[in-house]
Chain A
C-alpha cells in the first residue's frame, strides 16, 4: 500500500463540452454554468450569486435557456450533421447560478426568451424600489442601476402605491440599512453566516413585505460586518463611515494593501484630491479572498488628523521647537548623530515601515556603526478568518532585513533601559513612540540627540532634537511581507500633507549626509539595491511584484513575538474583537 502522506499529482480534471450561444467550449468539470458563460464571454447578470458564497438562486436574474443532448433509443446522444450532439432545449428558463456544467449541455444567454425574462425580473425588482438614486451612496456602482439600463425598460408601468419599509435602520454600529432599497438577494445573510460565522441577519415577513433585519436585541457588530456593504448589489446597506461623504465616481482607485495587521489584505484605496475616503477589499485568493476586516478598513482616518506633522522641526537652545526647512533639519540631525560613537547610539525602527525603509534603516545603522536596533512588536487577538495576532504589517520584512531582533522586540527593553539609565546618548526613533514603550519624558528630554520621524506628534516628538515628518501608508510606495511570507506592494493614493516627505527619502538623505554617497534617486533604485543585497528579493523589482504579490518566504512564519506588549495604534478605530 502506498503511504497516504506521499503527495501525488492531482488527477487530471475532466473537461466537458458545452455549447454557449451556439459555440462549443470546454470547461473543467465542476464549473458553475454562470461562470462558464462568463468565461465564454457571455456575461449573465446576477444579484444573489456571489462566487464565494452559497447559491440560493432567489433573485432570478440569471435565468437562461438550457438544454441537454437528445438521447436516441440506444441511450446515446443523437449526432447532428455537424457531428455535435443535437440539443433538446428545456422549454422553460433555468437559473444558471446553481448548476454545474454537464457533458453536451447547451446554453443560450441572449435568446428572446432570456431577454424577456431579464426584462420581467427587472420590472418586478423595481416595483417597490425607491427612485432615490440622487441621494443613494450606491449610485455609480449599483447593479440595479446598471442592469436596469442594460436589460430593463425605460419607464415604470406601476401606478399603485409602493410598499413602505423601515428606513434609516441602525443595523449595527457601522452600518445603516434602508429596507426599501433591499432587493432581498440575501448575500449579506449568507456572508455573515458562512464567512463571518455570526448568524445575525435574516428576513422577516412575507411576499412584498419581506424585510431584512438583524436579530432583535443582538447588534450586528462583528468585525467583518462592512463586507456586507461591499457585496450588497444595491444601496440597502451603507457604511456609516463612508455614507454621504463622496460620490463613488469621483474616487480615484489605487490598488494597495491594508497595513493594520500582518495579513496584508489587498485593498483598493478610494481617494479624491489628496483625501482618502475609503478602502475596500480587492480579490486575492492567496491572502484575503475578497474580504477584509472592519478594523483594518476603518483604520485610516489618522492620515487626515489635523495634528499631522507637516514641517521638519528642531529644538532650540531654550527648549522650544522651531519649524525649519529640510536642509537645516537634515544637516542638524547628521551633525548630531556624527558626534556619537556606535555603542552610544540606538535605533527604534517600526515593523510598519516598508522593506525599502527597513533596508535603509539597516544601512543607516551600518553608517553609524550602531548595533542596538529593534522594532516595536504589537500583539493583539487574532481570529481564524483574516485578522492576524501580529498587528504589525511587516514583521517578516523587519526580521529578514536584520532590523528586528530574532524575536522582534527582544532588544527593545535594553534600548529603553539604556535611554532611561542614560547609557544611550543618541536615539533614532523611526515612526514609533519611545515614550509609549516606557522611556521617561525626562530621559528623552535629556538625550543630546533624539532624531524622530513620525506622522503625528507624540511623547517622543515633543522631546526630540530633530523631528522629520514622514508619510502614512496611503501616501507612499514600497513593499511589505505578510505573516505568510508574501511580498506585496503598497501604492501611493494621496500626497503627504505640507512638506512631509517619503520616509525612504528621509533615511536616504541621512545616510547621504553621513557617508556622502548612495546613488538612490527613486524608490525603484532602492528596491534594485535591496534585491542585489538580499537573496530573498533577488530577481524581483517593484513592478514584478505585481498587484497580487509574490510568495518569497515558504515556511510558515513562527509566531515568536512576546505577548507582554500591548497592542497600540494611532487614530480612532473600532476596537478589534
Chain B
C-alpha cells in the first residue's frame, strides 16, 4: 500500500535559505568564541591526553599478574584461568619451586605464563576464578604491537603491568 507523505509547506523565510544559513553561522561563531575564551571542551586530545583519570573503578583493561608484599609471585600455576578463559588466550607451563627456595612450601609456580592479547576479550573471568588472588585486570587499554609475537604478554611483562599488591590474604602461612 502506497504511503502518501505530506510535504511541509515552507514559509517565505524558509524558502529564501539565507536566514537559516546566517543562523547556522551565528551558532558556529558563538561556539568558536566560547572555545577561544576556554568556556567549552570539544574533544579529548588523544593520545596526548589519556582516558586514565576518567576510567570508572570497574573498568576492565589488560590482565596482569601481581606479587605480594613479601615479593612472592602469587600465581601457583593451578591453570584454572587457562581453563576458564573463553577465547583460550592464556597458556601456562607449570614448574616446581626448587629445593632451598624461600617459597619452597608453595611447591608450584608458573615457569611460563603467556596471555595472547590479540585473543583476550577483557572479560575478567580469569580474575574471578583465581583462587590465589594472583591475576587482576588493570586499567591498561592501549595494547599495541607491531607483530603477533609482540602482542603476547609473557610473564615478565605481566608482572611489570601488575606490580605489587598489598592487603591480600596470605593463605600459604605456617598454620595452613
Contacts and interface: CB of A to CB of B under 8 A. Distances in A.
A250 interface: yes
A134 B76 contact: yes
Contacts of A246: 79, 94
A135 interface: yes
Contact of A135 (B82, B83, B99, B108): B108
Interface string A139-166: 1000000000000000000000110000
Contacts of B96: 243-244
A247 B79 contact: yes
Interface centre among A131, A135, A167, A250 (most CB of B within 10 A): A135
Contacts of A135: 76-78, 106-108
Contacts of A132: 107, 176
Contacts of B95: 244
Contacts of A167: 105
Contact of A247 (B78, B105, B106, B171): B78
A134 B78 contact: yes
A245 interface: yes
Contact of B94 (A130, A133, A244): A244
Given A162-B176, A247-B78, A134 B94 contact: no
Interface centre among A132, A161, A250 (most CB of B within 10 A): A132
A131 B176 contact: yes
Interface string B151-176: 00000000000000000000100011
Interface string A236-265: 000000011111011000000000000000
A244 B97 CA distance: 11
Interface string B77-102: 11110110000000000111001000
Identify whether the interface residues of B are mostly helix, strand, loop, or mixed: loop
Contacts of B176: 130-132, 162
A247 B108 contact: no
B127 interface: no
Nearest to A139: B78
Interface in A92-137: 130-135
Contacts of B82: 250
A131 B171 contact: yes
A246 B106 CA distance: 17
Given A135-B106, A245-B94, A250 B175 contact: no
B114 interface: no
Contacts of B116: none
Interface centre among A130, A168, A244, A250 (most CB of B within 10 A): A244
Nearest to A247: B79
Nearest to B175: A161
Interface in A430-452: none
Nearest to B79: A247
A243 B96 CA distance: 9
Give the interface residue-count category, chain A. 10 to 19
B145 interface: no
Contacts of A247: 78-79, 83
A168 B104 CA distance: 10
B43 to A, nearest CB: 47
Contacts of B78: 133-135, 139, 247
Interface string B106-142: 1110000000000000000000000110000000000
Contacts of B79: 246-247, 250
A168 B78 CA distance: 18
Interface in A140-199: 161-162, 167-168
Given A244-B95, A247-B78, A247-B83, A134 B132 contact: yes
B83 A250 contact: yes
A132 B107 CA distance: 10
A243 B99 CA distance: 15
Interface in B2-45: none
Given A134-B78, A250-B79, A162 B175 contact: yes
Interface centre among A130, A131, A245, A247 (most CB of B within 10 A): A247
Contacts of A134: 76, 78, 80, 108, 131-132
A132 B78 CA distance: 10
A133 B79 CA distance: 12
A323 to B, nearest CB: 26
A130 B176 CA distance: 6
A144 B39 CA distance: 68
A244 B77 CA distance: 9
Interface in A216-253: 243-247, 249-250
A167 B97 CA distance: 14
Nearest to B111: A244
A245 B79 CA distance: 11
B171 to A, nearest CB: 7
A247 B78 CA distance: 7
A356 B94 CA distance: 39
A532 to B, nearest CB: 46
B94 A249 contact: no
Contacts of B94: 244-246
A413 B106 CA distance: 57
A249 B108 CA distance: 18
Interface of B: 76-80, 82-83, 94-96, 99, 105-108, 131-132, 171, 175-176
9 contacts: A131-B171, A134-B78, A135-B76, A135-B107, A168-B99, A244-B108, A246-B79, A247-B78, A250-B83
Interface of A: 130-135, 139, 161-162, 167-168, 243-247, 249-250
Given A131-B176, A135-B108, A247-B79, 12 more contacts: A130-B176, A131-B171, A133-B131, A134-B76, A134-B131, A134-B132, A139-B78, A161-B175, A244-B94, A244-B95, A246-B79, A250-B83
| 10 tightest A-B CB contacts, nearest first | A134-B78, A135-B108, A247-B79, A244-B94, A135-B76, A134-B76, A135-B107, A134-B131, A244-B96, A244-B108
